[in-house]
Amino acid sequence: MPFSSLGLSPALLRALSARAYTLPTPIQAAAIPAVLQDRDVLGSAQTGSGKTLAFALPLLQQLTQAPGERPRRARALVLVPTRELAAQVGDEFRSLAQHLDGSLKVTVVFGGVSINPQMMGLRGGTDIVVATPGRLLDLLDHNALSLAGVQTLVLDEADRLLDLGFAEELQRLRALLPAKRQNLFFSATFPPAVQALAQTLLQDPVRIDVLPAPQTQPDIVQRAIAVDAAQRTQLLRHLIGQQHWSRVLVFVATKHAAEIVADKLRKADIDAEPFHGELSQGKRTQVLADFKASRLTVVVATDVAARGLDIAQLPVVVNYDLPRSTSDYTHRIGRTGRAGESGLAVNFVSAATEAHFRLIEKRQGLQLPREIVAGFEPVQTVSEAASTGGVKGKRPSKKDKLRAAAARNP
C-alpha cells in the first residue's frame, strides 16, 4: 500500500519522496488514516517501527488544513520521556514542516538546560510543542504558554514516561488540557500501569499492534557470551578488533562504569566516549553527533541512551552489564536492527549474572547458548563472584522505587 493511499496531502507526499521513503511501515499504514479521521489511537510500537512519522504526518496535515487562531496557541502537544527523544521528534516535525507552507511553528522544550531561551522561543505562540513533562510544567508555571488550545495529545514511549516517574506530572498536565481532544498513545511495552494510563486517557481508540516481540524479529541476532566480570573490557576490545565492529553501543549499569570503560577503551586506541545523565546537554549532543557521524567507534552508555535514540545503521549493541528489567532489555536491543537493517545484540554473562540472565531469557522466550571466546574462558564460580561483590544487592534501587511509585499512581 503506497503512502498516497493513506489520505496525505501532495506536499507531505513530496516530503516523503524527497526522503526516498517508498512504503509506509505497518504502524504508519494503520495509524495515519485513523489519526486523520480524528480517532484516538493506542499503538503498541517500538522506536524503530516508524512511529514518529505515524503521528507526525497526520498531525501536520490536520494543522495545515485548519489554520490556527492568532495569536497562535499550541494545538498539538507531544510528550516524550527524554531530551534526546524530544530533540529527535522535534527535528522530524521541522524537517517535514519545511515542505508545507512554512506557517507552522514547532517548539521543543526539555529540562537540563536554561529555561530562558525556551521561554523566549515560546513568545508569539507556537503550533506544535514537543516536551518532556517536567520542563513543560515549569514553563506553564511561568505562563510561557497555555495548553487550552491543544486539540491533539501524543504520549510517545508511555512506558518510559512512567518508568522515569512522570506519573504525577502527567496527571497535572492532563488537568490543564481541554477535555475534548484527540489522544494518541504509543508504548513499546504494556505493564499494568501503562494499561491503566491508556484506559483513563483514551476514548474508543483504534488499537494498532505491530510490535513483534524482539525474539521474533529476524533482523536482530542475539548472543550470550560467558565471561568473567573482570575480563569484560578486554573481551570487548578483542571483539571490536576481531569482528571489525565499526560502531558499538555498549550498555553499562552506572555512570561510573560508563566513564571507566570508555577510558580503558580510549587507552587502547579505540575512539570511545561515555554517555550518561550527568554529562552536560552540550556534551551529550556532541557525543551523539560524533557517533552518528562515525567519528566515534564506541559509546558506553547508561540506560538513558536506550530511550528513543535513533541512530541509523547501528550494527552492534553490547550489554556489558545486563539490564535490570526485561523491558530495559527490549529497549536496549531495539537500538540495533532498525528500519529493516540487521543487528547484533551481545550479552556478557558472568557467573554472578547467569541467574539474572536466565530470567530475562525466560521472560523474552529466549534460550541462547553460552558462547565462550578463546582466551576469555570464564573461571569464576557463583560463590566466588558473590564474595567479590558481583551479585546485585536486594535493596531496591532509586529506579525500582520510581517504578513502584509509578505503578501505584498510574
CA distances, 124 to each of 15, 132, 147, 363 (Å): 27, 21, 14, 50
Cell of residue 301, nine digits: 552508555
Q: Which of 26, 32, 49, 237 binds ligand AMP (CB under 6 A)?
A: 49
Q: 66 vs 312, which CB is nearer to ligand AMP? A: 312
Residue 154: partners with Cβ closer than 8 Å, 6 or more residues away: 55, 59, 76, 77, 78, 79, 183, 184, 185, 186
Site for ligand AMP in 305-324 (CB under 6 A): 310, 312
Q: Which of 6, 15, 52, 239 binds ligand AMP (CB under 6 A)?
A: 52
Q: 156 vs 361, which CB is nearer to ligand AMP? A: 156
Query: 325-344 mask for ligand AMP (x: CB under 6 A)?
Result: -------------xx-----
Q: 50 vs 68, which CB is nearer to ligand AMP? A: 50
53 binds ligand AMP (CB under 6 A): yes
Closest CB 171 distance from ligand AMP, rounded Å: 27
Closest CB 27 distance from ligand AMP, rounded Å: 8
Residue 30: partners with Cβ closer than 8 Å, 6 or more residues away: 54, 206, 208, 210
Query: 17-46 mask for ligand AMP (x: CB under 6 A)?
Result: ----x-xxx--x------------------
Measured CA to CA, the distance from residue 8 to residue 58 in angstroms comes to 7
Measured CA to CA, the distance from residue 140 to residue 146 in angstroms comes to 7
3-state secondary structure of 226: strand
The pair phi, psi for residue 76, each rounded to 5°, is: -130, 135
E strand spans, 234-323: 248-251, 272-275, 298-301, 316-319
Q: 53 vs 154, which CB is nearer to ligand AMP? A: 53
Closest CB 51 distance from ligand AMP, rounded Å: 5
Instruction: Tell me, rounded to whole angstroms, the distance of Cα 77 from its chain centroid.
Output: 18
Closest CB 53 distance from ligand AMP, rounded Å: 5
Q: 52 vs 152, which CB is nearer to ligand AMP? A: 52
Query: 83-112 mask for ligand AMP (x: CB under 6 A)?
Result: ------------------------------
- The 8-class DSSP code of residue 154 comes to E
159 binds ligand AMP (CB under 6 A): no
- The 8-class DSSP code of residue 382 comes to H
| Range in contact with ligand AMP (rule: CB under 6 A) among 51-59, 200-208, 295-303, 325-333 | 51-59
In total, the chain counts a number of residues equal to 410
Cα Rg for the chain, rounded, in angstroms?
22
Contact of 259 with 403, CB cutoff 8 Å: no
Among residues 313, 233, 294, 222, which one has the least CA distance to residue 266? 233
Closest CB 161 distance from ligand AMP, rounded Å: 16
Q: 52 vs 82, which CB is nearer to ligand AMP? A: 52
Residue nearest to ligand AMP (CB): 52
3-state secondary structure of 317: strand
- The 8-class DSSP code of residue 46 comes to -
Q: 24 vs 343, which CB is nearer to ligand AMP? A: 24
Q: Which of 8, 30, 44, 51 binds ligand AMP (CB under 6 A)?
A: 51
Q: 191 vs 308, which CB is nearer to ligand AMP? A: 308
User: What residues make contact with ligand AMP under the rule CB under 6 A?
Assistant: 21, 23-25, 28, 47-53, 310, 312, 338-339
